[in-house]
């Protein structure tokens, strides 16, 4: 298969066309942004860590019945994935209060939640990815009711599988963000990435933050946190 032109450059990844119309190549960058691009920086080695970690977790999820866009890792930073139409939603799964939920509801970070919370944000940088509910999604036609049922069921299943996977590594999965897409043959699949950019990981013994919050909040030890997660998960 041959790599063709660049289709898109996002904040953390570039996407290239391939000579197969059902496949695209994703290339992970070391660039980091926060607060809708207001804060910019570089996290040395992040691209390779996020690529390898995403692919590892997506293969684990596939084995457990969650369809994903993953096809093949072709280098440290590059992966072939199924071309999809992205459902324009960020699907947020929360087990413990943190971040914007803590702010919105005045809950100290670390407050356990009685049950898992699902939230949806409309993917639109100009609007700052506003939170929406299922009524907005149906009214705007961003996804149909069956697709939303499937997305919610997959999101909860992914949460269960990830929690179980991370527990023996002494990592608490506080919350995370997923994106889904529809392939050219109409299949709903998990897309985008699962990485310290898109998850909150806390050390279960020390409660130390091992994710992008170290960059967002200028906590220091950013590269070290990514390496620590990579080491626990991949042994690298
Ligand atoms: P939040 O508490 O800021 O809403 O973030 C919830 C989760 O979603 C957290 O694990 C980080 C992740 N996230 C992204 O992946 N991309 C984003 O643009 C934002 C705001 C959060
Ligand atoms: N990556 C997102 C941005 O630049 C937000 C984040 O991860 O905090 O806006």
Mean pLDDT by 10 residues, the chain (236 residues): 97 98 98 97 98 98 98 98 98 99 98 98 98 98 98 99 98 99 98 98 98 98 98 96
Cα–ligand 2 centroid distance for 53 (angstroms): 19
Tell me, what's the pLDDT at 236? 87
Q: ∠ at Cα 160 (109, 189), nearest 5°?
A: 110
Q: Has domain 3-84 been given CATH number 3.30.200.20?
A: yes
Q: Are 190 and 198 in contact (CB under 8 A)?
A: no
- The reported pTM is 0.98
**C-alpha dihedral sign at 4, 61, 204, 100:** positive
Tell me, what's the pLDDT at 83? 98
Which of 32, 37, 127 for mutating ligand 2's site (highest number of atoms within 8 Å of CB)? Answer: 37
Torsion of CA 146, 13, 35, 191, to 10 degrees: 20
Kindly state if the Cβ of 175 falls inside 6 Å of ligand 1. yes
Kindly state if the Cβ of 123 falls inside 6 Å of ligand 2. no
CA atoms of 183 and 219, how far apart (whole Å): 39
Beta strands in 97-221 (DSSP E): 112-122, 131-132, 171-183, 188-191, 199-203
CA atoms of 165 and 116, how far apart (whole Å): 17
CA atoms of 138 and 141, how far apart (whole Å): 5
Kindly state if the Cβ of 124 falls inside 6 Å of ligand 2. no
CA atoms of 143 and 132, how far apart (whole Å): 12
Domain extents in the chain: 3-84, 86-221
Strands 23-28 and 13-18 come out as antiparallel
Tell me, what's the pLDDT at 210? 98
Strands 171-183 and 188-191 come out as antiparallel
For helices 222-234 and 46-63, the axis angle rounded to 10 degrees is 30
For helices 46-63 and 145-166, the axis angle rounded to 10 degrees is 110
Kindly state which CATH superfamily the domain 86-221 is placed in.
Answer: ATP-grasp fold, B domain (3.30.470.20)
Contacts of 145 (CB under 8 A, 6+ apart): 138
């Amino acid at each position: 298969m041959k790599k063709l032109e660049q289709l898109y450059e996002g904040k953390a990844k570039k996407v290239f066309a391939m000579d197969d119309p059902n496949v695209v190549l994703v290339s992970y960058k070391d660039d980091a942004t926060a607060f809708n691009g207001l804060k910019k920086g570089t996290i040395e080695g992040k691209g390779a860590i996020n690529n390898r970690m995403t692919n590892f977790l997506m293969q684990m999820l596939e084995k457990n019945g969650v369809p994903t866009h993953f096809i093949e890792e072709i280098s440290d930073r590059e992966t072939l994935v199924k071309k999809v139409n992205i459902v324009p939603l960020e699907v947020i799964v929360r087990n413990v209060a943190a971040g914007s939920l803590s702010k919105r509801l005045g809950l100290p970070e670390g407050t356990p939640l009685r049950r898992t919370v699902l939230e949806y944000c409309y993917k639109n940088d100009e609007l700052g990815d506003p939170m929406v509910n299922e009524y907005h999604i149906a009214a705007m036609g961003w996804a149909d009711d069956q697709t939303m049922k499937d997305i919610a069921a997959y999101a909860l299943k992914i949460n269960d599988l990830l929690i179980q996977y991370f527990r023996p590594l002494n990592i608490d999965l506080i919350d995370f963000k997923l994106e889904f897409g529809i392939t050219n043959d109409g299949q709903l699949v998990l897309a985008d990435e699962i990485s310290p950019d898109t998850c909150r990981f806390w050390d279960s013994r020390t409660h130390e933050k091992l994710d992008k919050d170290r960059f967002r909040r200028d906590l220091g030890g950013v590269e070290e946190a990514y390496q620590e997660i990579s080491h626990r998960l991949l042994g690298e």
